[in-house]
Chain A
Amino acid sequence: MSVITVERKVLEKNDEIARRNRELFALQGTFVINVVSSPGSGKTSVLEQTLQNLKGQLNIAVVEGDVQTDLDAQRIAKFDVPVVQIVTNGGCHLEAKLVNDALQNLSLNNVQLLIIENVGNLVCPSNYDLGEAMKVVVASTTEGDDKPLKYPAMFRNAAVLIINKIDLVPYVNCDLEMLRSNALKINPSLKVFEISCTSRQGIAEWSDWLKQQSLNHSHEIAK
Chain B
Amino acid sequence: MTLTGTIGAICLFPLRNIIRISVALGIHPNVLTLTGVVINAGAGWALAMGHFETAGFVMLLANIFDFIDGKVADELNLSSRFGGFWDSVMDRFSDLFLLIGLIYLYASLGHTDYVLITALTLMFSVMTSYTRARAESIIEQCKVGFMERPERIVLFMIGAFTNRMAAVLWVILVLSVLTVLDRIYFTWRELRSTDDEATV
Q: Do A and B come from one complex?
A: no
Chain B residues within 8 Å of A, Cβ to Cβ? none
